Amino acid sequence: MFFLATVLCLSAVLLIFMVKEAFENNIVHHEIPLKGEEEKYTLFFISDIHTRKISDKMIQHIEQPIHAVIIGGDLADRRTPIETIYRNIQLLQTLGPIFFIWGNNDREVGEERLRKIFKELGVTVIENDAVLFPNMKNRCWLSAVDDVSSRKSNPEQAFNKCNREDAVIFVSHNPQLFTTIKNKYDANVYLAGHLHGGQIRLGPFGLYQQGSLSVKDGKFTLISNGYGTTLVPLRLGAKPECHIIDLIFRRELRTNL
């Protein structure tokens, strides 16, 4: 009886800890060096929000100017109230102009309904296309594909406009596309979410890799743990996160993480 009570007590404590971790607000800062005219351009990257309400306190505590906000997919899913979608977008708009990339769950809300909200609120949807970041001294493209699960993903179209002389930030909700992209196209930075860092991990073990920023051959890859949760509002060992990314343009390139 004592053993059972101990197990139940420990299970309850673990459950509370997992709920608490799932609703943490963690902003991870990154500096990414790029070659160009001297300039600092700052992005806010967030993915996999799902049903979670973005913390207004977290947003209010961001002191540095944000030049563009990138939602890297799964802004919402079938469980997300429409008022939460409006609220989250309007809160992110206090940081800067929003660019949205489709995730595998977003269309569960209803594609026409979501597009109507984006049009109403002035959100730019990038799907198999590229746009130049606004108000930049350097030419830097934001290139993105529709989610691979939609079977509408077209990397060729996403890179059609991008010149080799320009910087390119490429976004795919699902990072599984990165190997193909890196073999055929050229980008400086790759951004993705989708995997939630495994969401629930036992030490180093999880269903998917832990989110991280890595660099290889001067190319940076950021895979985020994401901000919200799917299936159950629990996390363990894969903290929720969003990202402030400083693109540091210099004439002489120094590549350091």
Dist CA 94 CA 204 (whole Å):
37
Domain ranges in the chain?
2-250
Tell me the per-residue pLDDT of 29-84, one tens digit each, with 9 for 90 and over: 999 999 999 999 999 999 999 999 999 999 999 999 999 999 999 999 999 999 99
Question: What are the φ and ψ backbone dihedral angles of 133, each rounded to 5 degrees?
Answer: -60, 140
Whether residue 70 contacts residue 142, with contact meaning beta carbons closer than 8 Å, is answered with yes
Dist CA 251 CA 57 (whole Å):
37
Whether residue 146 contacts residue 158, with contact meaning beta carbons closer than 8 Å, is answered with no
In this prediction, residue 110 carries a pLDDT of: 96
User: Facing residues of 90 across strands?
Assistant: none
In this prediction, residue 3 carries a pLDDT of: 59
Dist CA 109 CA 104 (whole Å):
11
* Amino acid in the structure at residue 63: E
What DSSP character marks residue 251?
S
Residue ranges for the chain with pLDDT beneath 50: none
In this prediction, residue 204 carries a pLDDT of: 87
Query: How far is C-alpha 74 from the geometric centre of its chain's CA atoms?
Result: 9
Domain 2-250 has what CATH class? alpha beta
